[in-house]
Amino acid sequence: MSDVAPRAPVTEDPLVESTLLEGRYSNAQLGESLLRPVLGAPGWGWWALVGLCSALVVLLVVAIGVTLFVGVGSWGNNIPVAWAFGIINFVWWIGIGHAGTLISAILLLFGEKWRSSVNRMAEAMTLFAVACAGLFPLLHLGRPWKFYYLVPYPSALRMWPQFRSPLTWDIVAILTYLTVSVLFWYMGLLPDLATARDTAKETWKRRAWGLLSLGWRGSARHWRNWRTGYLLLAGLATPLVVSVHTIVSFDFAVAQLPGWHTTIFPPYFVAGAIFSGLAMVMTLLLPARRVLRLQHVITDAHLDVLARLLLVSGLFVAYGYIQEHFFGWYSGDPYEMHAMSILRTGPYAPAFWTVFTCNVLVPQLFWSRRLRTSPAVLWVAALIVNVGMWLERFVIVVSPLSEDFLPSSWRHYAPTWVDLSLLSGTVGLFGLGFLLFLKLLPPVPISEVKQLQDELEASERFARDVVAKARAPGGGA
Amino acid sequence: MSRWVLGEFRTSEQLLEAARALRARGFTRMDALTPIPVEGVDEVLSLPPSGLPLLGLVAGVGGAGGAYLVQWFTQAVDWPLDVGGRPLHSGPAFIPIVFESAVLAAAGALFLGVLVACGLPRLTHPFFDVEAFRSASIDGFWLAVPVDDDAGRDAVDSALRGLGASQVSLAEEERP
C-alpha cells in the first residue's frame, strides 16, 4: 500500500467494486506523493537497471558500427528472405507504441477517467518505442546517411522520392507519429512541470523544471487554451494510431507475395499493435507502480480494465489469425494455401503454435476477475504476450519470403549476432529511456489526478446530499 | 508599471465566489491562477472563445493540400516515371501521405497556437517574485486583480480579505 496517509477514506458505495483513487488526500499531499519518485534520490535498483540497460546500449552501438562499416551483409537476411529482423523489430516496436497513444488520446476523447493515472507512463513508452522503431528502417537503407533522399527536397538532380511506394508512406507516417506523440506528451506535461518547479527545494532543479515548464502559471487563460489544444491533439492522434499501423501493413499487403497479399492486414496489424502495446504498458507499469508506491493512484480498477483491454484486443488478434488461414484456404490458390500450411504443419509450425499459445490462449486467463487484479499473473502474462507478438511478426515477415512461388529458390533464414545485438540493444535503449523518464519527469499526471479527486469528491457530496434529503422528514419522493 | 493584487483562497468554490463578488463590484481584467482547471471560471472572467479549432482546421487542410500538390507535381509533372503503365497522377496512392501531412500540420499549428494564446514561453513573470505564489501549482487558488494606484490597491486588498482570502500580496512589473 502507499505510504501517504489518506485524509479520508472513500465513501462506502456498494456499486463501486474498486475505485480509481484509494482514499482522499489534500491536494498538496497528493502532489507530493506523485512527485516523490522525482524529488528523492534513486535507489540501488534503479542504478542496477540503468547499468544493465547501458550495457545493452553499448552492444547496440557496436552492432550499428558493424552494420555501417561492414554493410547490411553482416545481417542474416539475403535472397529470398530480403526482409527479416530489421522489419520485424520495426513493426514490433512501432506496434508497442500504439497502446500509449490509445490510452492517452482515445480514452481522453471518450472521457474515460481511469486514463489519468496511467497515461503519462504509456505516452513515455510510446516515445521510446517509436524512437527504437525508427532506427531499423534507417539502418536497413544500407546507407543511412542518405536517408534525406526520401524527403522531397529540390535537388539539382531532380531526383524525387517515389511517392507510390509504401516505404515513402512509412517515413512520413513514422515521422508524423513521432512528432505528434512528442507534442501531445509535452503539452500534457506542462502543468506538472510547473508543479515540480514549485515543489522542488534545490535551485538547479527549480531552474531546470522552470525552463521546461515555459513559464506556466495555471492562469484561467492557460487552462482554457490548454484544455482545448490537448483535446484537439488527442482528436488528431486517434486516427493517427490507426493510420500509422495501416500504412505499416501496406508494406506487406501491397506486395504480390502469397501470405502478404491480403486485405485483412490493416485491421489485423492495428489490433496486434494495440495488443502488444498494452502488454508492454503492463510490463512497465506493474513494477513501476510497486517500486514508486503508486498503488493509491494505480488501483485494482486500473489493472482490471487494462487486463480486460488485453483480453479484447487478444480476441481481435485471434480473429485475424482465423481470417488469415480461412482466406488462404478459401482462395483455392495453391501458393496461398502453401503459405498458410507451412505455418500450421511445415518448418514454421513450432513458431506459429507458440504464437498461438502466447497470443490467443494466455489472454483467456483474464475472463477471471481474480486473475485480472493479480499483478504477478498480469505481469507474467504480459511478458508472454510481448514475446508472442514479436514471434508473430517474425512468422509474418519470414515465412512467406522463404517459401514463395518457386521451390528452387526456397531458403530459410537464421539471424546473425548483429541481428540479435540490434534487437537486444534497442531493448536496452528503450529501458534506459524509460528509467530516465521515471527519474526526471512526474510519472503520473498530477494535475489530472487532482482534478479526478475533485470530481470524485463532488459526486460523493452530491450522493450524500441526495441521501440526506431523502431521509429528512418530509423529504424524498 | 503594472501592478496586481494577488489573493489566495483555499478552495475553488471560495475562488469562484470571490471572483463573482469582485466582478459585481466592477473589477475587470482579473485572472485566476489555479492548480487544476476550475469549472465556471471562464464565464466569471468572461474569457473570449478559443480560436484553436479553426486554426487546427486551416492548418490541417493546408497540410493536406500541400502534400497532394507536392506528390502530383513530382510524380506527374516534373519527372514522370512510367512504372508498368500505371497512371502518373495516381490519386489513391497519394492519400496516405496527404492524411499524415494534414495531421502533422494541424498538430504543429495547434501546439504553437496554444503557446501563443497562453503567452508562453515566458522566462519570468512578476507573480513568480511572490514566494507564496508557488502554491498556485500545488494547492492554492489565486485571484489576480490589476490595480492602477495605491488607493485601488488598498481597496482590492481589503475586498479580498473580506471575501476570505488566506493571504494577500502585491506583484509589480517595471516596464522599461
pLDDT of residue A358: 93
A208 at the B interface (CB within 8 A)?
A: no
pLDDT of residue B5: 84
Give the C-alpha separation, A344 to A71, whole Å: 35
pLDDT of residue A1: 44
Q: What is the pLDDT along chain A (477 residues), one digit of tens a residue?
A: 456 666 665 555 555 556 777 777 888 888 888 888 888 888 888 999 999 999 999 999 999 999 999 988 899 888 888 888 889 999 999 999 888 888 788 888 887 778 888 888 888 999 999 999 989 988 988 888 888 888 888 888 888 888 888 888 988 998 999 999 999 999 989 999 999 888 888 888 888 888 898 888 888 888 999 989 998 998 898 889 889 989 999 989 988 888 888 888 999 999 999 999 999 999 999 998 888 888 888 888 888 888 999 999 999 999 999 999 999 999 999 999 998 999 999 889 999 999 999 999 999 999 988 888 899 999 999 999 999 999 999 999 999 899 888 899 898 888 999 999 999 999 999 999 999 999 888 888 888 888 888 888 888 888 788 888 888 776 544
Mean pLDDT of B11-15: 85
Give the C-alpha separation, A319 to A341, whole Å: 18
Query: Model confidence over A314-342: pLDDT tens digits?
Result: 999 999 999 999 999 999 999 999 989 99
Task: Cell 497522377: give the residue.
Answer: B89
Separation in Å, CA of B101 to nearest CA in chain A: 7
Residue contact A31–B115, C-beta within 8 A: no
Task: Cell 513501476: give the residue.
Answer: A288
B13 at the A interface (CB within 8 A)?
A: no
C-alpha cell at A111: 472521457
In this prediction, residue B71 has a pLDDT band, given cuts at 50, 70 and 90, of: very high
Residue contact A158–B79, C-beta within 8 A: yes
- Name the residue with higher pLDDT: B66 or A155: B66
Give the C-alpha separation, A272 to A265, whole Å: 10
Of B53, B103, B138, the CB nearest to A28: B138
List C-alpha distances in Å: A380 to A374, A375, A377, A426: 10, 9, 5, 21
ipTM score for this prediction: 0.90
pLDDT of residue A21: 79
Of A217, A224, A447, the CB nearest to B125: A217
* pTM, entire model: 0.89
Residue contact A220–B94, C-beta within 8 A: no
CB B49 within 8 A of CB A221: no
Q: Under 8 Å CB-to-CB from A444, ≥6 apart: which residues? A: A34, A117, A118, A120, A121, A294, A297, A298
Of A152, A184, A454, the CB nearest to B74: A152
- Most A-contacting residue of B104, B122, B123, B135 (CB-CB within 10 A), to test interface: B104
Half-sphere exposure of A257 (CA within 13 A, CB side): 22
Residue contact B78–A168, C-beta within 8 A: no
Query: Model confidence over A87-101: pLDDT tens digits?
Result: 999 999 999 988 888
How deeply is A308 buried, as exposed, middle or buried, from its count of CB atoms within 10 A (0-12, 13-18, 19+)? Answer: middle
pLDDT of residue A3: 62
Residue contact A221–B114, C-beta within 8 A: no
Give the C-alpha separation, B124 to A211, whole Å: 10
Give the C-alpha separation, A300 to A269, whole Å: 29
